[in-house]
A and B are shown apart, each in its own frame.
Chain A
């Protein structure tokens, strides 16, 4: 089975610009999560989709971040306008079903650098 894929793998943008990250979860996985790791610190939760619905977006830092999952398949995370503190690695993960013991399957991440 194909794993979780993220695009791009790296992105370097200037402060004030817009960037859109994409995540394709494992086919059939209803749960899709976005996480980010900033400056080598802990991995922090951003939000969780169940199919196309936002189940929990309590981790979204501010309204410059917008996540969508139209049709319940792939997801995008847009940062507009980007700020320096948005730099970090953004991970997408997916899991199947509603079982709380299902592990997450992660993509390789998108390394975002805002200059």
Chain B
């Protein structure tokens, strides 16, 4: 069965600094990987996905993520953090053989001014 781990409950970064939110996964076969963001009292919003091709994928709001097959990781990155990036971030994996998404526990990102 597939699973997703986000090893950090909380990530703090100063505004203007680069940020990384970590995600590792376990799935049989080639994974479909996703990042979602949740702002307070809102639903999850899609940020980006990796399906195939270039290991570095770019998404909304200046975010990008790097797929690393050997390390089974899909870390979310942004070169320069904004205070408005403060939110809860979820990594998710979808097994191509199935139709269900499996989510990680979430990482709370706080960008300090």
Among all A-B residue pairs, the 6 with the closest Cβ atoms: A106-B43, A43-B103, A103-B46, A42-B105, A106-B44, A101-B51
Contacting residues, chain B, for A44 (C-beta < 8 A): 103
Chain B, 36-54, CB within 8 A of any chain A CB: 36, 41-46, 49, 51
Among A35, A56, A104, point to the contact of B46 (Cβ < 8 A). Answer: A104
A4 within 8 A of B: yes
Say whether, besides A42-B106, A103-B34, A56 and B43 are in contact (CB < 8 Å).
no
Contacting residues, chain A, for B45 (C-beta < 8 A): 106
The reply to whether A56 and B100 form a contact with Cβ atoms under 8 Å apart is yes
The reply to whether A45 and B101 form a contact with Cβ atoms under 8 Å apart is yes
Interface string of A99-113 (1 = CB under 8 A from B): 011011111110000
How many interface contacts (CB-CB < 8 Å) are there between A and B?
A: 58
A53 within 8 A of B: no
A-side interface residues, number (CB < 8 Å): 27
Say whether, besides A105-B46, A106-B44, A108-B43, A100 and B96 are in contact (CB < 8 Å).
yes
Q: Considering only CB atoms, which chain A residue lies closest to B88 in the complex?
A: A40
Contacting residues, chain A, for B43 (C-beta < 8 A): 3-4, 6, 91, 93, 106-109
Instruction: Write the residues of chain A forming the contact surface with B, with a CB cutoff of 8 angstroms.
Output: 3-4, 6, 31, 33, 35, 40-45, 48, 55-56, 59, 91, 93, 100-101, 103-109
Contacting residues, chain A, for B49 (C-beta < 8 A): 101, 103
B70 within 8 A of A: no
Q: In the complex, what's the smallest C-beta–C-beta distance from B26 to chain A, in angstroms?
A: 14
A10 to B43: give the CA distance in the assembly, Å.
Answer: 13
Q: Considering only CB atoms, which chain A residue lies closest to B4 in the complex?
A: A42
